[in-house]
Amino acid sequence: MPDTIAPTLAEIANRVLPAGSFGNMADRTIIREGRAGRVWDTDRREYVDFLLGSGPMLVGHAHPEVNAAVIAQVARGSTFFANNEPGIRLAAEIVDAVPCAEQVRFASTGTEADAYAMRLARAFSGKPRILKFEGGYHGMSDYGLMSLWPARPGNAEQAMPDSAGIPESVQAEMLVAPFNDLPAAEQIIHAHRDELGGVIVEPMQRLIPPLPGFLQGLRAITAEYGIPLIFDEVVTGFRLSYGGGQAYYGVTPDICTLGKVIGGGYPLSAIAGREDIMAHFDRAKVGAAGFMPQIGTLSGNPIAAAAGLATLAILKRPGAYQRIFATGRSLMAELEKALVNAGLPALILGEPVMFDALFTTRDRVTDYRGSLDVDKARSQAFNAGLRQHGVFKSESKFYISHAHDARDIQNSITAFSAAAAMLQD
């Protein structure tokens, strides 16, 4: 009888996974391993990695110090569903580093942290509605998936669901404003101040930096009306600076959420904030009516916390952020140069730690609607060209790591020019 041909990993994935994927990357590359600023796929192709696991690997893949911390903790046990030393020490480090953090609660994902943060704001304020900003990403909960990528942008205050399966009633609990439009946000907050339980915003929304005065204005009006201001720092926390986006932009919210970097590549997130607000996690302080239970099997997992502590220790060293920003500035400049030389109209948007090229004739983008005015087909072709020439990234972002070195930069510059040349008419 003829030998049976074993199915490939891609064939197995197509059989056992919806759409043949985990739901994250549209690209079907299967990653086998990562070291420092590079990854290798199962076909042994090597890439400079600017995906970085969607951001957590800020100090690079398989960092020896992070690995050593993880291995040491694995030998002591994987999880306890109880207080543990690495988790307590990580919480203390967050409190020391992040301006708004007086106390911390852990969860496992950014989605959980953002959902808890919105609930916490409602519990503290006693008011039901939350204001978010159009195009802002706050996880995969029903609330987070309101006007994240609306098909009909410009829907004023009315939130629009971006997924099947979300009850219509959730729309009534969310309000939406355009990012970077302070007068519009102030008008909505003023009009709904008696029912608004919180305002949630990414200090840097996706790749769009805040305009001067925008975050300061949000802080002023929410403080005036006693409305909790939440910074979603799952992405920006410990990335823009050691104190996160709130330290980088100089605006302190009441609550923030953290993720990605604080887990060092392992599942971990956090809700942090003022002690009087965080008291709603403590029944003894607020009573049964004000108590907000928060339970998770892996919340504060010691392995993730150990990885996070080791990661933060690396980032805390002198020169760490200067190195990341210098790498990012160099790559932003070279990316722009390659596209200009190829005659391709594009805007480099973001901060040096995370950015992308938007194929557009606009000279600036300040909100979600502006980000839609791009040539998506050209962007997809450029990203495919980068992968073909050994650069791996998401469809929407370059993440820069502390581990990217001179060889990574030079290989990327070569790939930028090659991928841009492929798009020339």
Active-site annotation, residues: 137, 232, 260
233 burial via Cβ count (<10 Å: 0-12, 13-18, 19+): buried
Distance, in Å, from the CA atom of 393 to the CA atom of 400, rounded to the nearest integer, reads: 10
Counting Cα atoms < 13 Å in the Cβ hemisphere of 361 gives: 0
* SS3 (DSSP) at 321: helix
Residue owning tokens 């600017």: 50
- Which residue, 37, 64, 54, 115, is CA-closest to 401? 37
Question: What backbone phi and psi angles, to 5 degrees, belong to 131?
Answer: -100, 130
- Which residue, 271, 269, 235, is CA-closest to 253? 271
Directed axis angle between helix 406-422 and helix 376-388, to 10°?
130
Query: What residues pair up with 198 in beta bridges, in sequence order?
Result: 130
Query: What residues pair up with 106 in beta bridges, in sequence order?
Result: 270
The dihedral built from the CA positions of residue 66, 69, 74 and 75, taken in this order, carries a sign that is positive
- Which residue, 34, 56, 20, is CA-closest to 392? 34
* SS3 (DSSP) at 36: strand
User: Distances from the Cα of 95 to the Cαs of 164, 240, 281, 316, in angstroms?
Assistant: 38, 17, 17, 14
SS (H, E, C) 78-95: CCCCCCCHHHHHHHHHHH
